[in-house]
Structure 1
């Protein structure tokens, strides 16, 4: 089985600090880059039979509703824990903090994490991992949930664009082992944004 640090699959960040505005063009760039990676045999997680017929991933229509400026409350203590994976492997993480935000007038929260192996690398030292599941999981989107890559902000506000949510590699190829979404990161709302399920 291939081991996979799912946090480095796609580091297509929209870096920035404080309040940010929604950008459809940024989402389109994200989608184009993702499709390019999947079409390239050198970087694609697809199985050989799927790569031969691959044209594009399926995305939800870009929707500004699922772009939020969340309030980040940092966690205290930084206790190390092992996040379960789809395979037999586990990776060590710390909970960096909790994001508080609204979608369609309702309050939600999600925890963000740091992978201890990843953050020792200079270019990923500020990387935050946001795994989540929602009411589309197992229906229109991947049953195991999806991921978003973020960067530690200078302030306490962080832009989260669910239009940039992507599937773990194990959604495409059983040989990969990917972090499972922690139960506390299950959203009780349909997040119709980002990548849909494959096939």
Structure 2
């Protein structure tokens, strides 16, 4: 094989590899979008049909859909976990003025929208799996397009010193649907000067 043919062969291999990469990426993105849509559908069905739903019977009858921002993979981030030095129980205020105790466990540190973000991860005092965390946050959409009391994420540590945070899965607390429920408010560490325009929007009757 002469030099020209070798060069052409390498070019062809490069083109094939690029096409394969783009197709794989497109397939991965489609699978990712479908997974988010499935979670949204599960959330709707729970609110609409479950006896444990925060909606009353009249609300259930008229609930046809939930409102979400478009899915954006840029809000799916890998965060570094920084353990809290003095891990202790703290009191988190609730929407009804009461308090609930959580373990102040770790900080999740990552970059988003060109800014460095550091959020506090909490753990229920009754949590049996030490890799599960609770994240309550508020952002610049809170009280405008999303629920004023913030939104939640349930997280699971999936790396030795890191955790995947997908804000596309952000959901409303029960009190967004029914004020008879008391819900934890985001701690001050988790009030972001960013607009998180993914996840669930505010519920409107």
TM-score tier, shorter chain, comes to 0.7 to 0.9
- Paired position in structure 2 for 1:177: 182
- Structure that is richer in helix per residue: 2
TM-score normalised over the length of structure 2: 0.80
- Paired position in structure 2 for 1:142: 147
Of the candidates 104, 118, 131, which is equivalent to residue 113 of structure 2? 104
Q: Is the 8 A contact 2:88 2:105 kept in 1?
A: no
Post-superposition shift, 1:108?
A: 1.1
- Paired position in structure 1 for 2:21: none
- Paired position in structure 2 for 1:60: 69
Q: Is the 8 A contact 1:91 1:115 kept in 2?
A: no
Q: How many residue pairs were aligned?
A: 175
Q: Is the 8 A contact 1:99 1:110 kept in 2?
A: yes
Measured in 1, the distance between the counterparts of 2:131 and 2:78 equals 18
Runs of 5+ consecutive residues of structure 1 not aligned to the other structure: 1-20
Of the candidates 71, 76, 91, which is equivalent to residue 82 of structure 1? 91
Measured in 1, the distance between the counterparts of 2:187 and 2:63 equals 31
Task: Render the CA deviation track for 1:122-143: whole Å, top value 9, x for unaligned.
Answer: xx44320001000000000000
Runs of 5+ consecutive residues of structure 2 not aligned to the other structure: 1-27
Measured in 1, the distance between the counterparts of 2:58 and 2:179 equals 13
- Paired position in structure 2 for 1:163: 168
Kindly report the root-mean-square deviation, in angstroms, between the aligned alpha carbons of the 2 structures: 1.6
Of the candidates 23, 39, 43, which is equivalent to residue 34 of structure 1? 43
Instruction: Choose between structure 1 and 2 for higher RCO, CA contacts under 8 A separated by at least 6 residues.
Output: 1
User: Which aligned runs of 4 or more in structure 1 are off by greater than 4 angstroms?
Assistant: none
Task: Render the CA deviation track for 1:107-130: whole Å, top value 9, x for unaligned.
Answer: 11111000102x14xxx4432000
Larger Rg: 2
